Amino acid sequence: MLFFGQNILKTINTFSSLAREFMRYPPRRPRTPFNKEIKQMGRPIKKLFIGNRNTLGIGGEGLVSVTLGGTNNSTGYTNVDALTISAPNLPGGVQAVATITETAGVIDGVIVVDGGSGYTSALTITAGTGTQGNLTLTGVLSTTTSNAIAILAFVTGGSSAVIGDINSQKGSKIYNVTTAQGTSECLLVTGEPVEGQLRITATDSAGGTYFVKKLTNRTAVVLPGTGVQFAEDAKVAWADTAVENVSVALTN
């Protein structure tokens, strides 16, 4: 009976010892992929560079003027005939509106009624109420885009990769984004985005392109597209304006 009691006492002492060790050295929480992502994130990009890209909450640029070019053999127009202008590139953009002035049916000027917003590339402008002939109409966009970063994203549930905005940064390569097709978290990639992915493009001082592999508040890790100033995986400073062999500018 004494021997049995001694064994019970030894067992209790053993468990007590193990309990003390557990309290001294608690097991580490397993590192999940998400925890690892957050740890490797570095300093996130500033809110200044996130979201819609102008004070109207749309982004892109607006139409400032229309330049007449080519051989002006247009005929059959009347004053204030409306031009046909392509739609904005960005979600929520406002359609630009412009009308023509004419002399004896020939277009001799354009009045921009509403410059619109959300344009990021050249507009297509035609005058369909008469015969345009060889006259060309070239839109001139504003240059007042603010600092926020533009992206190409294929949101979850969307149908294609389109231009959009970053809402927030969730990790070194994870962003919450919005396009005309919805809002979702997307993974940063350097190829053509598929569903759940986004791409950020940078340019050097010569106009060469790079795809961003990782982005922090001060630097971008890049993959060269047409650019030759920086090698693959170079950690490059980024700013509004690129400096030769020093920094890149991000598309905005």
Q: Do 165 and 51 have their domain in common?
A: yes
Q: Which of 141, 163, 190 is the last residue of a domain?
A: 141
Residue 223 within any structural domain of the chain:
yes
Place 231 in a pLDDT band, splitting at 50, 70 and 90: very high
Q: Which of 78, 107, 141 is the last residue of a domain?
A: 141
Query: Which tokens sit at 200?
Result: 């950020």
* Cα gap 234→237, rounded to integer Å: 10
Q: Do 115 and 157 have their domain in common?
A: no
If one compares 179 and 16, the residue with the highest pLDDT of the two is 179
- Which DSSP state fits 9? H
Look up the pTM and report it: 0.55
Q: Do 187 and 77 have their domain in common?
A: no
Q: Do 168 and 51 have their domain in common?
A: yes
pLDDT tens digits along 4-63:
445 555 555 665 665 565 565 555 555 444 444 444 555 555 554 555 555 445 566 889
* Cα gap 135→81, rounded to integer Å: 16
Residue 130 within any structural domain of the chain:
yes
* 23 sits in which H/E element: helix 2-24
pLDDT tens digits along 53-62:
554 455 668 8
* Residue range of the domain that includes 122: 63-141
What are φ and ψ of residue 82, in 5° steps?
-80, 140
Q: Do 137 and 167 have their domain in common?
A: no
pLDDT tens digits along 68-106:
999 999 999 999 999 999 998 776 778 999 999 999 999
Query: Which tokens sit at 162?
Result: 């389109």
Q: Which of 121, 141, 161 is the last residue of a domain?
A: 141
Quote the distance between the C-alpha of residue 21 and its chain's center. Answer: 51
Nearest to 110 by CA among 143, 132, 87: 132
* Cα gap 234→252, rounded to integer Å: 21
